[in-house]
Amino acid sequence: MLIERENAIANLTVAANQLNNGNGNIALVSGEAGIGKTSLLEEIKRTLDQQYEILWSGCDPLFTPRPFGPLYDFAANFSEKVHHLLENGAPPSTIFSAFHDALENATQPIIVSVTLTAPIFA
Ligand SMILES: Nc1ncnc2c1ncn2[C@@H]1O[C@H](COP(=O)(O)OP(=O)(O)OP(=O)(O)O)[C@@H](O)[C@H]1O
Ligand SMILES: [Mg+2]
């Protein structure tokens, strides 16, 4: 149970439901470390899981980031073609183009969720 997140949940739900009109949407959830960004997205995922296909991934702040990490996560269940291109070292433009095509040709609205950690420069 999340405290004081009713407005954020309502806003994200409205943004998700607008996908049914055939329009894309971008929602940015930002805030300081530990404020509850991931928890909010997980709550939204729980409530919308039945209605939408949700592609879920994160870009971890690793010293050696995984190239195309989120696309690997998405492709596993979403697009054999994208998975194939990733595995065979296709150029980035080809991979992103195939992912875009897969989203555009999907028969139901897709929600893509990526958690990011911004680097801190001291
Ligand atoms: N609205 C809330 N009510 C109660 N507890 C919360 C709420 N939001 C987050 N928490 C708790 O706060 C902690 C941190 O939440 P969370 O990991 O979602 O933050 P975050 O913003 O994603 O952190 P980070 O910036 O490190 O990714 C978790 O233990 C979570 O259960
Ligand atoms: Mg988080």
Tens digit of each residue's pLDDT (9 = 90 or more) over 25-71: 999 999 998 999 999 999 999 999 989 999 999 887 777 878 899 99
Going by alpha carbons, the residue nearest to atom 25 of ligand 1 is: 33
Q: Which ligand is nearest to the CA of 42?
A: 1
Instruction: Calculate ∠ Cα 26-99-92, nearest 5°.
Output: 105
pLDDT score at 61: 75
pTM of the entire structure?
0.89
Is-contact 46 54, C-beta < 8 A? no
Rounded to whole angstroms, the Cα distance separating 121 from 111 reads: 31
H helices present in 18-111, as ranges: 37-48, 69-78, 80-87, 92-104
The single-letter code of the amino acid at 21 is: N
Q: What residues does ligand 1 touch, defined as CB less than 6 Å away? A: 2-5, 31, 33-39
Q: Using pLDDT thresholds of 50, 70 and 90, give the confidence band for residue 1.
A: confident
For the cut 90, the answer to whether the pLDDT of residue 73 exceeds it is yes
As a whole number, mean pLDDT of residues 99-104 equals 95
Going by alpha carbons, the residue nearest to atom 10 of ligand 1 is: 36
The secondary structure of residue 52, as a DSSP letter, is S
> Tokens in use for 4?
């004081």
Residue in 38, 44, 45, 60 to alter for ligand 1 test, most ligand atoms within 8 A of Cβ: 38
- In 3-100, the DSSP E strands lie at 53-59
Rounded to whole angstroms, the Cα distance separating 116 from 58 reads: 6
Q: Report how far apart, in Å, the C-alpha atoms of 65 and of each of 10, 53, 56 are.
A: 33, 26, 17
pLDDT score at 63: 78
Mean pLDDT of the chain: 91
Q: Which ligand is nearest to the CA of 2?
A: 1
pLDDT score at 109: 92
Q: Count Cα neighbours of 66 within 13 Å in the Cβ-side half-sphere.
A: 11
Q: Which ligand is nearest to the CA of 30?
A: 1
pLDDT score at 119: 65
Distance 49 CA to ligand 2 centre (A): 19
